[in-house]
Amino acid sequence: MLRLACRIAWLPAILFLPLAVLAQERSWQEARSTHFKVFYKNATPAELEELTHKAEGCYDSIAEQFGFNRFNFWTWDNRARIYLYDSHDEYVQATRGYSWSGGQVMAGSKIIQSYVKAPGFLHSILPHELAHIIFMEMVGFNNPAVPLWLHEGVATYQEKNTYSSVKAELAAKMRKGEYLDLDALNRLDLRSADRDQVDLFYTESYTLVKFLISEFGKDFFVSFCRDLRDYRDLAGSLRRVYSFKSLRDFQEAWKKYILR
């Protein structure tokens, strides 16, 4: 369920929704930690402590993983904001979110919205959404060179428990020709795709990022993000940083990694 809980808010939401959120801020109570402001109404001190502790831990590990801590800081007025609604119903109504969704992110404004006791929030949704924000800050917002599978691959990479054992399953599908190649991943419309295809999209996205990080290491991935930010050319970044001659060359190397 968690994979469906994510929703990257693209431009229209980035422009308009934060204003609605800000207008409500007066009725919220606020808790702060080094990199986060948490807005809530009825959370207990223990729930807030657990949330800020987990959020700070996620921030540190994701920033370390992507080399983000070397060139950006989320402090003072630049802290990310987490809004915790009292219930699932209130959250869905206030955010106009999908009823199956447990959380959502407005990456450009560094805002995450969820509700108290949302299932999987601390261990899956929060790290997933934080990774979206940090990755977008690294590669640039609305960077047309970054496909959705790369955004979701980076975010699902934080959910190691959910995706740790998907490689064998994907290999079996690949052997039967029942997988999505890069072109198909780029074409897939998640809104109209069926559940199996959505699952396959997230599984493959995870393994594409896992392939790059586990085979070539973190430093190469950081260089790859910076190259994408500077040149806005996916095939060019894969060539310059990883020496893949083309997107097809990259795809074949990924398939070999899955099948071996």
Using CB under 5 A, list all residues that contact Zn ion. Answer: 6, 152, 155
Q: How far is the CB of 132 from Zn ion (least distance, A)?
A: 6
CA pseudo-torsion sign 180, 182, 185, 186: negative
Closer residue to Zn ion, CB minimum distance, 152 or 204? 152
Q: How far is the CB of 258 from Zn ion (least distance, A)?
A: 21
Closer residue to Zn ion, CB minimum distance, 5 or 43? 5
Q: How far is the CB of 240 from Zn ion (least distance, A)?
A: 27
Which residue's beta carbon is nearest to the bound Zn ion?
Answer: 6
Closer residue to Zn ion, CB minimum distance, 31 or 204? 204
Amino acid in position 10: W
Q: How far is the CB of 198 from Zn ion (least distance, A)?
A: 12
Q: How far is the CB of 150 from Zn ion (least distance, A)?
A: 11
Closer residue to Zn ion, CB minimum distance, 6 or 63? 6
- Paired strand residues for 80: 36
Closer residue to Zn ion, CB minimum distance, 40 or 127? 127
Q: How far apart are CA 2 and CA 15, in angstroms?
A: 26
Q: List Cβ neighbours of 221 (8 Å cut-off, separation of 6 or more).
A: 66, 212, 213
Distances (CA, A) of 189 to 170, 194, 195, 246, 251: 20, 10, 12, 24, 20
- Paired strand residues for 31: 38
